[in-house]
A and B are shown apart, each in its own frame.
Chain A
């Protein structure tokens, strides 16, 4: 089993020891390290970081649904300055690559965070373009090609780091957004972010989540994610980080067969804190079972 090479190039010169990363918002270095050795990860992807502290949404923020969950944390975060001073040094001590996830309410907000993080030792940036654009009536940056393209263009201009663009699945044609991101200089794409979902408590006759709607994630959304990774793989040439309901090593293999270069584990880690390393082990077992020596072999193995 030791002969399997899990290393992967995810663009912009960034090479990971293995393809397992932590989906933004489901991982915290201090909390997760109580359960497993973070140096086992290919990379840790941080919670969303904005230019100023964000308070997030009111509670309840979490609802369980059949085979999934809805969250509406609202990207609560302490802001980029606090992150650089207090959280980044802690995260870097594990010797694992650190990918900072960037959130914004305007293009200027995104650029401010990207500029500041470009001067730090983060290894790459992942820009969450699912956030609502407050200057355009709250429409998500990631749902229109021109808007998505302009965010990528502007952050590319100020970024000195490998740039990953995280796509929203709440769009008509994910490949158009992916192509716009690639055309404007994205080094890689991660997909999918959560689907917009809602749950109503029929006994209390009201939405479960205070903010009414939220991001739907977990194994229930995996077929949508696999389909989108498959479509985007055939639309762009840059590396893809696939995510959406990965719970097991076989789920991980499914995303790689669909065309993903690397993976993020999210909801699974909220359910079982050690999920990222368990999935890594199971992926190795899977690859060993079918005789794959590296991820490129597995990625090219889809029979269609």
Chain B
């Protein structure tokens, strides 16, 4: 069996920004199964909350996974209360992640809680690396990206940190150009980036988000439209199984 539900141990779980937490879980099988851009399903301990929560993988260690997650509801609220030593049920890695490309200048574009998977990706890229990351208020993981040798540009909606505006405006304003783009963040940002990359003739991989049921392709709850040469011009792919990472050029925005 290639995938499993396993039991891990929380090594640490720290608040790194308002409503943003970093959890390190020791679970060797899950760590060994993981690649950049994939996610794991995390289970709450409450029987009233049935569905696992899909959380993107921020970093992969020998026998650990680091997850940086936003507190957005009761499930993630529960996770945020976990302390070191606690057991946590999770799946081994799910989905199709980023494919590191051969390029001179890689540009990582992240928005808010879409930034975490770009951290592990950065470790797998050879060449010059630029991150352009946007937040509502306060940035996070920018320091970790810098430690990994990434040149970081920050945009915030409020202008409290870095550039005031969105990431595409920031790239235009700074004249930032790369050879290959990777992105994770809210859909409007991904759509704008895909249009930006198309205009510049640059390839981009985008990690999409959709409300999931099972997270492994059985329920067909999370679908997105991708371009297809058929009567309607698109087909529906499962974000959890076929994605979450797709080529920007294949998504029917």
Q: Which of A59-67, A118-126, A227-235 contacts B (4 or more CB under 8 A)?
A: A59-67
Residues of B with C-beta under 8 A to A37:
1
What is the minimal beta-carbon distance from A73 to any residue of chain B, in angstroms?
Answer: 5
Shortest C-beta distance, B152 to chain A (Å), equals: 33
Whether B52 contacts A271 by the Cβ 8 Å rule is yes
How distant is A289 from chain B, measured CB to nearest CB, in Å?
23
Question: Is there a chain A Cβ closer than 8 Å to B84's Cβ?
Answer: no
Asked if A71 and B221 sit within 8 Å, CB to CB, the answer is: yes
Q: What's the Cα separation between A73 and B2 when bound, in Å?
A: 26
Q: Is the CB of B50 within 8 A of A69?
A: yes
Whether A267 touches B50, Cβ cut-off 8 Å, given contacts A76-B236, A274-B5, is yes
Q: Is A189 an interface position by the 8 A CB rule?
A: no
Option from B1, B5, B241 in Cβ contact (under 8 Å) with A272 = B5
- CB contacts (< 8 Å) of A270 on chain B: these are 51, 213-214, 218-219
The reply to whether A28 and B218 contact each other, CB–CB distance below 8 Å, is yes
Q: Do B216 and A56 touch across chains, with their CB atoms under 8 A apart?
A: no
Complex interface: chain A residues within 8 A of B236 (CB) = 55-56, 76
Interface bracket on A: 35 or more
A interface SS class: loop
Query: Are B3 and A273 in contact, with the CB atoms below 8 A?
Result: yes
B220 proximal to A (CB < 8 A): yes
CB within 8 Å of A: which of B208-247?
Answer: 210-214, 216-224, 232, 236, 241
A214 CB, nearest partner CB in chain B, Å: 10
Report yes or no: A25 in contact with B219, Cβ–Cβ below 8 A: yes
In the bound assembly, the distance between CA atoms of A182 and B157 in angstroms comes to 63
Q: How far is the CA of A70 from the CA of B222 in the complex (A)?
A: 13
Cβ of A205 within 8 Å of any chain B Cβ, yes or no, is: no
Task: Please name all residues of chain B whose beta carbon is closer than 8 Å to the beta carbon of A55 when the two chains form the complex.
Answer: 232, 236
Of residues 6 through 64 on chain B, the ones whose CB sits less than 8 Å from some CB of chain A are 47-52
Whether, in the assembled complex, B104 has its beta carbon less than 8 Å from a beta carbon of chain A, the answer is no
A45-B223 Cα distance, complex, nearest whole Å: 22
Contact residues of A between 225 and 274, Cβ < 8 Å to B: 267, 269-274
Q: A216 to B11, alpha carbons, bound, how many Å?
A: 37
Asked whether A73 and B1 contact (CB < 8 A) given A56-B236, A271-B52, the answer is no
Q: Is B124 an interface residue (CB 8 A)?
A: no
Complex Cα spacing A62 to B223, Å: 11
Whether B144 sits at the interface, judged by CB under 8 Å, is: no
Measured in the bound complex, the distance between the Cα atoms of B213 and A26 in whole Å is 10
Residues of A within 8 A of B222 (CB): 59, 61-62
Interface residues of A in 16-66 (CB under 8 A from B): 25-28, 30-32, 34-37, 47, 55-56, 59-64, 66
Given A67-B50, A271-B51, are A62 and B219 neighbors across the interface (CB < 8 Å)?
Answer: yes
A26 touches B4 (CB 8 A): no
With CB as the reference atom, state the residue of chain B lying closest to A75.
Answer: B220
Point out the residues of chain B lying under 8 angstroms from A60, CB to CB.
210-211, 221
Main secondary structure on B side of the interface with A: loop
Smallest beta-carbon distance B45→chain A, Å: 13
In the complex, A25 Cα to B50 Cα: how many Å? 17
Name the contact of B1 in the complex, choosing from A28, A34, A64 (C-beta under 8 A). A34
| Closest chain A residue, CB of each to CB of B230 | A53
* Contact in complex: A218, B217 (CB < 8 Å): no
**Quick one: which of B52, B91, B221 has the most chain A CB within 10 A?**
B221
* Min C-beta distance of A207 to chain B, whole Å: 13
Contacts of A64 in B (CB 8 A): 49-51
Q: Find the A residue at minimum CB distance from B53.
A: A64
Residues of A within 8 A of B91 (CB): 273
Interface members, chain B 46-99 (any A CB < 8 Å): 47-52, 91
Residues on A with C-beta less than 8 A from B4 are 35
Whether B213 and A71, one on each chain, are in contact in the complex, defined by CB atoms closer than 8 angstroms, is yes
A73 with B210: CB separation less than 8 A: no
Closest to A74 in B: B220
Among B50, B211, B212, B224, the residue within 8 A (CB) of A68 is B50
Asked if A76 and B223 sit within 8 Å, CB to CB, the answer is yes
- For B224, list chain A residues within 8 Å (CB): 59
Residue among B51, B210, B213 with most chain A CB within 10 A: B213
User: Using a CB–CB distance below 8 Å, which chain B residues touch chain A?
Assistant: 1-5, 47-52, 91, 210-214, 216-224, 232, 236, 241
List 27 A–B pairs whose Cβ atoms lie within 8 Å, in order of A's numbering.
A31-B216, A34-B1, A34-B2, A34-B3, A37-B1, A55-B232, A56-B223, A59-B210, A61-B220, A62-B212, A66-B48, A67-B47, A67-B50, A69-B51, A69-B213, A71-B213, A71-B221, A73-B221, A219-B47, A219-B50, A267-B50, A269-B218, A270-B219, A271-B51, A273-B5, A273-B91, A274-B5
4 nearest A-B residue pairs (beta carbon): A31-B217, A62-B221, A270-B214, A60-B211
